Amino acid sequence: MKRYFARDALLPQGWARDVCIEVDGGGAISRVSSVSKGEKLAGPVLPGMANLHSHAFQRAMAGLTEMRGPGQDDFWTWRELMYRFVERVNPNQAKAIAAYVYLEMLSHGYTAVGEFHYVHHPAGMLVSHLDAARETGIALTLLPSLYMWSGFGQKPLQARHKRFSSDVSHLLSIFEKMRRLSSPDTNVGVAPHSLRAVDPGALKELVAAVPGNAPIHIHAAEQAREVDECKAALGKRPLEWLLAEMGIDQRWCVVHATHMTDEETRALAASGAVVGLCPTTEGNLGDGVFPLAEYRASDGRYGIGGDSHVSRDPAEELRLLEYFQRITRRKRNLTTGDKTPAVGTTLWLEAAAGGAQALGRRMGAIAPGMRADLALLDELETFAPGSRVLCIASAGCTAFDLAARGDDVTAVDVNPAQIEYVRRRLDGGQRQLGSVDRGLDRLRRFGPILGWRRSELERFCNLERPTEQLAVWRRHLDTRRFRLALRVAFMPAWLRRWYAAPFLDVLPPRFDRVLRLRFERGFGLHSNSRNPHVASLFLGRPRETTPNPLTLAVADAAEFLEQCPAGSFDGFSLSNILDGAGEAYGSRLFAAVRRAAKPRAVSILRSFREPADEEERRRAAGERALIWGSVRVEQL
């Protein structure tokens, strides 16, 4: 039995504080409680997301399709390039590609994947995906695909389709073989490719032959041309035919379902099936927009998939899913529910539940009986877990956070007193205030004069909803007296008593006003109750940390890295090290960073200065620390 303690966890009923998750020896959640026991997790915890629709090999061709051909490009021209590409992929290459994309999925919050596999030849292609999943640790639902024809009307397969060729008996033999290899993290279903690739008789034969709990996935109504051809061949539209002829139920996952009538939308929702939505691929291929609002209005279930893997990030899929709805309906914040007005929370909970159903896996919720598929969020997610990271010691907070999640951390600082202070914190000492903190600490002492009451600040720090946070901030806390006091606290004449001129030159003019705008930005994006930086800044409450071992060094960062062996570090967290440093030192530092970096290492440079571009602005806004103006992330 293992216990994990999360300060914040997304439970089926919504976000909860101080959650203990107990996991049995088989990897299932046995109990969820509010007991403050267990291994402390480094950030908010979500139920892992299911990637319900994957063609792993397509990850390796993603960039090849972004060059326009001699005529008009669409889904069908993209498909021809895919045919040419897959002819070159052998089982060893398929395993390498799958392992790579599965690791990418895991790093972004997917914990299970449905592999819709139609490349049956040569032998070993399917098993290569099973091996890749087991080596990387992602849960897998294998979906061997029935692929018999090249188009409606039982058109024979052409030469470029031969690697996909299968019949019902062949597919059932694959199903039984894979079924014998099933485990808590491996499931198997079937995937009749589409109505254009499988005739009605074969589809009915396949569905009747597999067990009643086996997942069944099928592409349907992705393209308008497909709908027209289906109507001409079968007398009905794809969804109309499936609903009438196949008795679709909860074990079905209809992938895409982009082009439906209102009646089909309501009927599919009523069937209990899951729709597999792949917004980045559907957008990339120009498929069209799924009618999510109408489908949800009928209580339809859905999940998300990476499909061609132009993205491996569930948050990006969900964001694009919502944005497509906004564009077509010309409204905002459309996907919300009774549990929460937060779009992101609603999308994650609904897609996680739908994806779990589609993969036939007990996941998608942090609840007893579910697999302990947990996704951890924090501002340090840019580094892969277990990285070897160099950071600036400063007050020790970043170093402690990185070490707490299992990274091998080296913290350096040119100031011996700073290193000694971090060492004392490792032994249980108190946090020392930084530059912005000291200014706010002076203001906190005069809180009543500023119009701040302690009880009001406590309530503000415990708020959940950004809209309410902004309203309270503007109405009760961002008072005229506070603004005046903040301006005095950060006047250049006052700051020059504490800081060197080069550092002050970095600060934007009227830094007090800039700081207020950064506060507002953070309150509008992040929940205060899940952001320890808010309580630290406005209540002086130290962040709760349990320091893990780390290496401390009194050294200039550039000099230290110059003396390290090449390829020493996976990541570099460099907070305001260049604020006030000259160009020569910046060039020297980054030359040393590149030399000490392992392949694909990541550097994060934070600064009080204003951002140079929109990406730096977006990164700064994404950090829960409210004070940064610019955050630059670079893969080395």
Is the predicted pLDDT of residue 496 greater than 90, yes or no?
no
pLDDT tens for residues 183-219? 999 999 999 999 999 999 999 999 999 999 999 999 9
Is the predicted pLDDT of residue 599 greater than 70, yes or no?
yes
Sequence-distant (6+) residues with CB within 8 A of 636 are 593, 594, 597, 600, 601, 602, 603
Domains of the chain, with CATH numbers? 2-45 (2.30.40.10), 49-360 (3.20.20.140), 379-431+547-636 (3.40.50.150), 433-541 (no CATH)
Distance separating alpha carbons of residues 113 and 135, to the nearest angstrom? 14
Beta bridge partners of 410: 390, 551
Q: Which residues are catalytic?
A: 256, 307
Helix (H, G, I), strand (E, B) or coil at 52: strand
- CB neighbour burial string for 72-102, b if at least 16 within 10 angstroms, e if fewer: ebebebbeeebeeebeebebeebbebbbbbb
% residues pLDDT > 90 (the chain): 60
Which pLDDT score, from 0 to 100, does residue 443 have? 62
Q: What is the mean pLDDT of the chain?
A: 89
Is the predicted pLDDT of residue 381 greater than 80, yes or no?
no
Q: Quick one: pLDDT band at residue 249, thresholds 50, 70, 90?
A: very high
Mean pLDDT of 314-341: 93
Cα 404 to chain center, whole Å?
21
> For 436, how many CA atoms within 13 A lie in the half-sphere containing its CB?
21
| Least trusted range by pLDDT, from 98-107, 149-158, 434-443 | 434-443
The amino acid at residue 65 is T
Global confidence as pTM:
0.64
Can you give the C-alpha Rg of the chain in angstroms?
Answer: 27
Which pLDDT score, from 0 to 100, does residue 379 have? 43
Q: Other C-beta atoms within 10 Å of 14: how many? A: 14
Cα 371 to chain center, whole Å?
19
Which pLDDT score, from 0 to 100, does residue 634 have? 79
